[in-house]
Amino acid sequence: MEDKIVYSDIFRTAWKALMSQFWLLAGLFIGFTIIYSLLLIFAVPSKGTPISISGIIVSVLCVLLAYLFQLGYLRNCFQTLDGEEPQFSAYGQVSGKLFSFLAAHIIFVVITAIGTVLLIAPGIYLALRLQFFFASMVDENTGIVDSFKRSWKITKGYSLRLLILALIMALASFIGQIALFAGIFVAIPLILLMYGCAFRRLSSPSAT
């Protein structure tokens, strides 16, 4: 089996893509962070203030906005990997997947949580094998069930290498968080680009 998870290659590809569209990717992430933070101000009641209907509505909007941003931003990352300029229209294009992604994410969390309860290792294994349901939904327009099947298929035989890649991505996130916090606006798009790059490598015909 040809090894598609070459860490240095994935990192270099993701870094090159990030540098090609850094200001757009960082700007989109910063813009979302500002909007989301402002919405949270209205969603979280002040101390001693009862929860209102409007607060609940804003809280729900915050959750939906966060999921929509995840979908659209990953689409932007795939556009960047393809050598294209990230388009804001990507968020409208993936909006139809919002509730499917929400349901799929809940299923993913439940499955991995059950696996984690069963001595932790099964949860990690399931998370590694099923993680690309997200990428498949965005990049291949698959449904909930097919996205999990796709991820399970392409990750066969790559669990250990994907675990190491996950640790590398976690290290990048940690470095971004301690780099005066602003580094997170570099780390997050870099991690998503690495994730998208790994998915593309595993999805290639020679890898499956």
Q: Is the pLDDT of residue 124 over 90?
A: yes
> Is residue 91 a contact partner of residue 79, using CB atoms and an 8 Å limit?
no
Choice between 204 and 130, residue whose per-residue pLDDT is larger: 130
Q: What pTM does this model have?
A: 0.92
pLDDT more than 70, % of the chain? 92
Instruction: Report the pLDDT averaged over residues 94-114.
Output: 96
Least confident of 8-22, 47-61, 182-196: 47-61
- Locate 11 and state its tokens: 């990192």
Element holding 176 (H helix, E strand): helix 159-178
Q: Is the pLDDT of residue 207 over 50?
A: no
pLDDT recorded at residue 206: 64
Q: Is the pLDDT of residue 80 over 60?
A: yes
Task: Report, in angstroms and rounded to the nearest whole number, the Rg of the chain calculated over CA atoms.
Answer: 18
Q: Determine the Cα–Cα distance for residues 73 and 75; give it in Å rounded to an integer.
A: 5
